[in-house]
Amino acid sequence: METSVESVSKKKGRKAREERRVGAVDESKGKFIVSFRGQPETAKIINEALARANDKSFGRKVEFTDLVKILFRKINDRDIQKLQEMSLNRTQKIELMVRKYNETHGLNLSVQDYVLHKSREF
C-alpha cells in the first residue's frame, strides 16, 4: 500500500493585488500616514511653520492637519505639473522627451534611435 503526501507551499508576506489602478485615488480613505524619515530638511521646515503658527497667547494648538488643509487649498495646476515632473526618474524623463519629439515631428523613434538622431545633429 502506497501513500502519497502532497506538499502545499504557501507564500509568505503580502498578497499581490490583482489590479493596480495607476493614478486612482481612494476617496473613502480618511487616514494618511506621513513619514519624514530620511528627510530632515522637510521635517525642519514643517516644525518651524508649526512653531510660528503656535506662537500665540491663546487659542487651541495648531496641528499638522490644519497646516495641510491650508496648503492644499493653495496648490495650483503649475504646482501639480511640477510634482508630476518630480516623480519621474531619469529614464522616464528621457522617454517623455522622446515621446514629445515623436509627436512634434510625426516620427516613431525608439530611445536608442532618438539618441542616435540627436548625436548626428551635433
In which band, very low, low, confident or very high, does the pLDDT at 27 lie, cut at 50, 70 and 90?
confident
Say if residues 104 and 97 touch (Cβ distance below 8 Å): no
Please report, as a single letter, which amino acid is at residue 74: K
Q: Is residue 87 over pLDDT 80? A: yes
In which band, very low, low, confident or very high, does the pLDDT at 116 lie, cut at 50, 70 and 90?
confident
pLDDT of residue 8: 55
What's the pLDDT tens digit per position in 35-80? Answer: 889 999 999 999 999 999 999 999 999 999 999 999 999 999 999 9
pLDDT of residue 104: 93
d(CA 98, CA 113): 9
